[in-house]
Chain A
Amino acid sequence: MQLSLDQIKAQIEAAVPGAQMTLVQNGSPSGQHSLLVDKEHALAVAHYLRDGPGLRLDYASNVAGVDWPDTVVKEIVRTKGVVDGMEREFEESVERKRLGYLEAVYHLYSMELKHGPVILRLRTADRAGQARVPSLTPVWRGAEFQEREAFDLFGIVFEGHPDLRRILMWDEFKDFPMRKDYVEPDDYEYEPTAHDEVLEKAKRHVSTEGTPQ
């Protein structure tokens, strides 16, 4: 029987005392809602998800990184006020600055009970010095390479990972290419069919000196 995410959340909260779980809604038609777990209890929660009765999520099929840069969030706040002796409801748009963070997203399935995916999210404190989450490789061994990939491309440091090195880029590489603010090296000197973004980049290199070929 498929458990709903609310039921799973209630089960975990009963089994792992102190765990702070948040249900992250997905508004798209797929409706794949996910569970956000706090960093302190992530490992205990992961163990429970793998071994808990009725869950048995023994297979982490996918580990993804998500970059959420600093943004300004617009919120609509309803306030009540009195205008001309009439009580009215006002809608006010409030802008709030939200600091960016990184997320590691785990897609979990159960081979034994044939259900899933249950989507688990871990969130870092910020995008610079505190980009740390606990590694879930001790729970799901198959997450090892994918956590290395998230480390390589997003710069999420997985604490407790057995072998956290870059996996795709070379060791000397300093950037994190999948972050939203990554600036790729500018090597657009020659663009035979440049258009749009590439055209803009290529224009900076166009030299009119010398003999055209």
Chain B
Amino acid sequence: MDLGLRNELSKQGVFTTTLEEIYNWGRKNSVWPLSFGLACCAIEMIAASMARWDLARFGAEVFRPSPRQADLMIVAGTVTKKMAPQVVRLYNQMPEPKYVIAMGACAISGGPFKQGYNVLKGIDRYLPVDVHIPGCPPRPEALLHAFMRLQQKIDEQALTGPQRPRHLVAEAPSEFTVPQFGEHDLVPSKNPAVWHPPVAGRPQEA
């Protein structure tokens, strides 16, 4: 609809919208996170949900104890290799559309523990992460910022066309490979369908 006409109509008291807008508006304001925390970042996540930072302002105060009712997985904390299969399994159990925020240095890269034998070097090796938050731990404001970025992302999703989100593409995978415990490491140690290590070098001028 033409923006001028729309403004004119709203001055006359006629509210117009599109299905896409109202659908995304509804979704972005009721993103229910899965209530689970893995380490100290979870304390900041809890603080963000309490009265002082008040995640309820974004419609996300309803932390769900079941993955079946959750829309958002906040991976808050160190993902150990022993925990990683369970995290992926929980993600697989969530219904589409679903989103992932990787919160903190550990969840995005392994953080201070990345040279250890037992810590996964970032949950993005197994899951498609929508927003990464650096910090050790990130302040609740940083989580709110990530949340607003996610809302922006949801708001900008087109429901039709080739750019439509994954949950509207029938062939797109909704489940991801759960790694198995191997003799020396997780098998596979990364999911090549999800994670591509960046190629070294400077970006070429187009």
The reply to whether A212 and B203 contact each other, CB–CB distance below 8 Å, is yes
Point out the residues of chain B lying under 8 angstroms from A174, CB to CB: 183-184
Give Cα A71 to B11, complex, Å. Answer: 87
Point out the residues of chain A lying under 8 angstroms from B190, CB to CB: 187, 189
- Nearest-CB residue, chain B, relative to A172: B181
**Interface 1/0s, chain A 153-189, versus B by CB < 8 A?**
0000000000000001111111101000010110111
Give Cα A185 to B185, complex, Å. Answer: 6
Give Cα A171 to B198, complex, Å. Answer: 33
Residue B117 interfacial (CB < 8 Å): yes
Residue B115 interfacial (CB < 8 Å): yes
The reply to whether A173 and B198 contact each other, CB–CB distance below 8 Å, is no
Partner of A211, one of B82, B116, B199: B199
Point out the residues of chain B lying under 8 angstroms from A190, CB to CB: 109, 121-122, 197-198
Residue B177 interfacial (CB < 8 Å): no
Give B113-145 interface residues, CB cut-off 8 Å to A. Answer: 114-118, 121-122
Q: How large is the interface on B (under 10, 10 to 19, 20 to 34, 35 or more residues)?
A: 20 to 34
Give A99-117 interface residues, CB cut-off 8 Å to B. Answer: none
Give Cα A175 to B184, complex, Å. Answer: 7
Residue A207 interfacial (CB < 8 Å): yes
Residue B69 interfacial (CB < 8 Å): no
The reply to whether B115 and A192 contact each other, CB–CB distance below 8 Å, is no
- Nearest-CB residue, chain A, relative to B115: A198
The reply to whether A208 and B201 contact each other, CB–CB distance below 8 Å, is yes
Residue B202 interfacial (CB < 8 Å): yes
Q: Given the known A-B contacts A169-B118, A177-B117, A198-B115, are A213 and B183 also in contact in the complex, defined by CB atoms under 8 Å?
A: no
Give A115-171 interface residues, CB cut-off 8 Å to B. Answer: 168-171
**Interface 1/0s, chain A 68-111, versus B by CB < 8 A?**
00000000000000000000000000000000000000000000
Q: Closest CB-CB distance, B140 to chain A, in whole Å?
A: 25
Partner of B117, one of A170, A182, A189: A182
Most buried by A among B109, B117, B118, B122: B117
The reply to whether B184 and A173 contact each other, CB–CB distance below 8 Å, is yes
Residue B161 interfacial (CB < 8 Å): no
Give Cα A175 to B117, complex, Å. Answer: 10
Q: Closest CB-CB distance, A121 to chain B, in whole Å?
A: 26
Residue B162 interfacial (CB < 8 Å): no
The reply to whether A187 and B189 contact each other, CB–CB distance below 8 Å, is yes
Q: Given the known A-B contacts A177-B117, A182-B117, are A212 and B185 also in contact in the complex, defined by CB atoms under 8 Å?
A: no
- Nearest-CB residue, chain B, relative to A207: B199
Point out the residues of chain A lying under 8 angstroms from B203, CB to CB: 211-213
Partner of B197, one of A172, A189, A211: A189
Point out the residues of chain B lying under 8 angstroms from A212, CB to CB: 198-204
Closest 8 CB pairs of A and B: A185-B185, A189-B197, A212-B201, A170-B181, A177-B117, A190-B197, A174-B183, A172-B181
A–B Cβ pairs within 8 angstroms, 11 of them? A170-B82, A172-B181, A185-B117, A187-B121, A188-B121, A190-B109, A208-B200, A209-B199, A211-B199, A212-B198, A212-B203
Beyond A170-B82, A198-B114, A207-B199, 4 additional contacts (C-beta under 8 Å) are A168-B118, A173-B184, A174-B184, A213-B199
